[in-house]
Structure 1
Amino acid sequence: MNSKSLLRSTVLLAVAVAVGISASPVQAGATTHQVTSGGVQFVKLDHPQPVRESALTEAVEFFWYDCVHSQALEQPLQAWAEKHRADVALRRVPAVWPGSRDEAVQRAHARLYYTLEQLGLVDRLQAGAFRAVHDERLDVTTEATATDWAVRQGVDGQAFGRTYRSAVVNQSVDEAAAAFTRYGINELPTVVIQGEYRTSPTRAGGVEAMPEVLDRLVQQEREHSR
């Protein structure tokens, strides 16, 4: 990755944080306080968010295809989720910061992600989508350009287009924007465990440290639920 890409990602993160602080109203779900345990830092939401009914612990990742740190977490997070297949359900939420200067692009990237999700293609194409957006600097912000990329990955263009325009994808994009406000997200990537504890690179001590933090949080949640 070149220095220009890294600088752009850093600037985008700083802008997004500033927008999130200045433009988003303070909500109960966004109220947090920092917790330190054994040198591992994370944030505890004072008002835990609902989780989907499941026997598994829920992990929610907030990411953006145009974020170098989100891309760096993709492979370690996949490996972590595979290791925890029996006890953790991973759910992804693409970045949509309401009111930010990048909101339109983020919504388009979110639409791409949810189209892949509806087609069952996230596992196969998530890493490729990161490369297309962040490394190759491809424009996938319209139906035509996103479909063109998908077809080159072996996806049926008609099925992709129908899904891209679908009501369920429209709703999912809107819900992603609401989730960013509700969870009080101010850094990418962020992972929230069981709607209560969240960690991110600056909290954990870098992207490479996040899986270990997630292990501790899952174990903590398991102990609390006994």
Structure 2
Amino acid sequence: MKPVTRAAVLLLSVAGTLGATVPASNAVSADTSYVSLQHPQPVRETAKREVVEVFWYGCVHSQLLEQPLEQWAARQPSDVVLRRLPAVWPGESDQTVERGHARLYYTLDRLGQVDRLQLAVFHAVRDENRDLTTEDAAADWAASQGVDRKSFTTAYESDQVRQEVAQAPDDLKRYEITELPSAVVQGQYLTSPTRAGGVDAVPQVIDQLLERVRTKH
């Protein structure tokens, strides 16, 4: 199945799975560019304002959002933190591709290589149609990008990365994700290209939500 088609199928599937727990009539705010989570989530660093980007390397809209979001993050003050969450849809009978992509992401994250290589992974998966879902393929690609192969393999096989991949479906449930990409601000508010009015509008909505968080405290 082509990545775009697969993304559409996954979106419909997860919407059906989570629809009962995230009723639109209760979650939608007066401003339809975002929704409030039914169950707000804690942030990792209480002194920071946190934005969680939920993405999938096989999703065209996730790819389109990545560069504007990186440019947005570069302009933020030190108390704003961008954290990424690779999507592994809960309830999917075959999570092989999503888990493979998530494992690649968490390996690069552990090695401190995400900021440098995030766009390059999207390019390899989306534009070059490379399968990076196995250890050998991912390690070959990472080595071609200047990552030490042994260090990559050690991180890829680590218990920490395995645990993070295993936790990913539960994280999607916690953040009430029904669309990719999505952004969760301070564990309270969720926006996406559909809600914001397009990929390019997402950073502006995030700014508005961060200001909302700031003025509430």
User: TM-score, normalised to structure 2's length?
Assistant: 0.92
What is the aligned-residue RMSD (CA, Å)? Answer: 2.1
In structure 2, the partner of 1:186 is 178
**Correspondence for 1:61:** 53
Q: Does 1:135 align with 2:96?
A: no
Matches of 2:26 and 2:98 in 1, distance apart? 25
Q: Compared with structure 1, are the counterparts of its residues 31 and 155 closer, same or farther at alpha carbon in structure 2 (3 Å cutoff)?
A: farther
Residue 223, structure 1, aligned to residue 215, structure 2: yes
- What residue is the counterpart of 2:204 in the other structure? 212
- Determine if contact 2:51/2:184 at 8 Å carries over to the other structure: yes
Q: Which residue of 1 aligns with 2:116?
A: 124
**Aligned-pair CA distance for 1:143:** 0.5
Verify the 8 A CA contact 2:49 2:186 in the aligned structure 1.
yes
Once residues 207 and 102 of structure 1 are traced to their aligned partners in structure 2, the CA distance between those partners, rounded to angstroms, is 28
TM-score after normalising by structure 1: 0.89
What's the CA shift for 1:102? Answer: 5.3
How many correspondences in the alignment?
216
Contact 2:105 2:114 survives alignment (8 Å): yes
Q: For residues 74-85 of structure 1, what are the structure 2 equivalents within 5 Å? A: 74-85=66-77
Paired residue for 1:33?
27
Q: Which residue of 1 aligns with 2:98?
A: 106
Quote the sequence identity (%). 51
* Matched residue, 2:13: 19
| 3-state SS in 2 of match to 1:46 | coil
Out of 215-224 and 100-109, give the one that drifted further: 100-109
Cα offset, 1:31, TM superposition? 9.7
Offset at residue 105 of structure 1 (A): 0.3
Query: Which ranges of structure 1 fall in alignment gaps of 5 or more residues?
Result: none
Q: Residue 36 of structure 1: SS of its match in structure 2?
A: coil
TM-superposed deviation, 1:32: 5.5
Residue 196 (1) aligns with residue 188 (2):
yes
Residues 148 and 31 (structure 1), Cα distance of their counterparts in 2 relative to 1, 3 Å cut = farther
2:142 corresponds, among 142, 146, 150, to 150
1:81 to partner: Cα distance: 1.0
Counterpart-to-counterpart distance in 1, 2:61 and 2:110: 25
**Residues 91-145 of structure 1, C-alpha deviations (whole Å, 9 max, x = no match):** 1000100233552100000000000000000011111000011110111111100
What is the CA deviation profile of residues 2-54 of structure 1, one whole-angstrom value per residue up to 9, with x for unaligned ones? xxx7xx52x333312222133458558x99611133xx610101221111123
Q: Structure 1 residues 156 and 183, CA, compared in 2 at 3 Å: closer, same or farther?
A: same
Q: Aligned partners of 2:48 and 2:76: how far apart in 1? A: 10
CA displacement, residues 149-194 of structure 1 (integer Å, 9 cap, x when unaligned): 0010011111100100000000111121111112111111100000
Structure 2 distance, partners of 1:160, 1:87, is 30
The answer (yes or no) to whether the contact 1:112–1:164 under 8 Å persists in 2 is yes
